A and B are shown apart, each in its own frame.
Chain A
């Protein structure tokens, strides 16, 4: 039997969750106030996931903007966060861009795209 204590990061409630596992299988997830907590706990146990957010340099802004904020469209493996952060520094984004525009496809082989989170022109 293995017990794992964790705090859910799904929302500001921050539920304290206890996960019990045996032989690599989850037996019980306890303490979550919503279904998101179960998904979070399972991921934390097998493969922790995070949403990456950052900013990228832009060229040719007509409004004087230096950066466009961006995110991974879905969560990526927590272990890939620093690699993604370093990768996006290599690009300069041509404007204009809108919220949701794909800036990098399949970033660092995660099969997740980097998308813009701001309208910049």
Chain B
């Protein structure tokens, strides 16, 4: 079996920053594992500006922000493997990995940093009535389709949820030539950043409907429309307020949840509030030597904050191995 001092699972903002910090704290025997064909994680599809204001004191796009960290990883010669899927992590710190070339293989680590990021809530978790046609996407999926794959998932768009990805995608779809009819938000206040409401909705005259929900989805094969209604304090639709929108795309931006499959398989204690693992002040989970960094631990609003927290986890992992703490 291959062995490494530190295995980091995930090559996005958390994994990259953790790798650099651990290396700089004296740990050289590191393996960084990434599922995609390149490093950078979700930053690769976050092509809008707004990253790095804290970390680099300038406004960068997601790919530019990622590249700064990728360059740091490359400069240090930190070992990384792309196109790799981690299947399981054991409390004995054996990481089971698979890829096209090597099949299934295992790496014994002295410490592990979980940096798998988060997932979006899907239609299935929202219980929206109606048919189940194509054309209903999470905002992040649409973001990947538009920005990475080069496809436009619809031309008449309704967005449910005004999280930052939803706001960003409302503008992105508009710039790509689609018409965004409205953004419906069940809360009284948008969870998105104010700057995004201004530059993504107001700039393009896209209405934000607070205390509104999508209450029906229409379409046999492909979505043909949705009903949007005002809701009361119990989130129930108010009769007589329903408006029908003809659309060929519904985007969902209704929240993010830490990606927990490996963490739970490992047996780490989970936190019902963050929905990620319970961690100490150095981001160590209840499994000694296993750390959680970034959105896998708790969903962060800003990538810059992810980097800061991941650096703490990276240094702590180096300290854990160096100090021989058991």
* Residues of A participating in the B interface, judged by any CB pair closer than 8 Å: 6-12, 14, 50-55, 57, 63-67, 69-71, 78, 81-82, 85-86, 99, 117-119
Proximity string of chain B (226-262) to chain A, C-beta cutoff 8 Å, 1 when within and 0 when not: 0000000000000000000000000000000000000
Given A99-B64, A117-B64, residue A67 in contact with residue B59 (CB < 8 A)? no
- The answer to whether A9 and B195 have CB atoms under 8 Å apart is yes
B49 interface residue per 8 A CB criterion = yes
Whether B133 is near chain A, meaning CB under 8 Å from some CB there, is no
Is B325 part of the contact surface with A, judged by Cβ < 8 Å? Answer: no
B148 within 8 A of A: yes
B69 shortest CB reach to chain A, Å = 13
CB neighbours (8 Å) of A7 from chain B are: 194-195, 197-198
Could you show 19 A-B contacts with beta carbons less than 8 Å apart? A7-B197, A8-B195, A9-B198, A9-B199, A12-B193, A53-B48, A53-B49, A54-B172, A54-B175, A55-B150, A63-B37, A65-B148, A66-B150, A69-B61, A69-B62, A71-B61, A78-B203, A85-B175, A117-B60
Contact A69 B147 (CB under 8 A): yes
Interchain nearest-CB distance for B42 vs A (Å): 13
Given contacts A12-B301, A51-B59, contact A119 B67 (CB under 8 A): yes
The chain A residue with its CB closest to the CB of B197 is A7
CB proximity of B145 to chain A, nearest CB, Å: 10
Q: Kindly state whether residue B266 has any CB partner on chain A within 8 Å.
A: no
Q: Which of A54, A66, A71 contacts B149 (CB 8 A)?
A: A66
- Residue of chain B at shortest CB distance from A100: B64
**Does B285 belong to the interface (CB within 8 Å)?**
no
Chain B: minimal CB distance from A26 (Å): 20
Q: 3 tightest A-B contacts by CB? A: A14-B194, A69-B47, A118-B63
With A117-B64, A118-B63 as contacts: A63 and B195 at CB distance below 8 Å = no
Identify A55's interface contact among B38, B49, B147, B194, CB under 8 A.
B147
Please pick, from B53, B61, B177, B193, the residue contacting A53 in the complex, using a CB distance under 8 A. Answer: B61
A47 → chain B closest CB, angstroms: 14
Interface string of B179-216 (1 = CB under 8 A from A): 00000000000000111011100010000000000000
**Smallest distance from the beta carbon of B205 to chain A beta carbons, Å?**
12
Interface residues of B in 44-81 (CB under 8 A from A): 44, 47-50, 53, 59-64, 67
Which residues does chain B contribute within 8 Å of A11, judged by CB atoms?
Answer: 53, 195
CA distance A117 to B60 in the complex (A): 9
Q: Chain A contacts of B264 at CB under 8 A?
A: none
Q: Report B268-307 CB contacts with A as 1/0, cut-off 8 Å.
A: 0000000000000000000000000000000001100000
| Shortest Cβ gap from B300 to chain A (Å) | 12
Asked whether, in the complex, the Cβ of A55 is within 8 Å of the Cβ of B199, the reply is no
Please, which residues of chain A bring their CB within 8 A of the CB of B148?
A: 55, 65-67
Neighbouring B residues of A70 by C-beta, 8 Å? 47
A64 touches B37 (CB 8 A): yes
Known A55-B148, A81-B203; further 6 A-B contacts with Cβ < 8 A: A55-B47, A55-B147, A85-B175, A85-B176, A99-B64, A118-B67
Cα distance, A71 to B49, chains bound together (Å)? 8
A50–B48 Cα distance when bound, in Å, is 11
- Complex-state Cα separation, A8 to B174, whole angstroms: 22
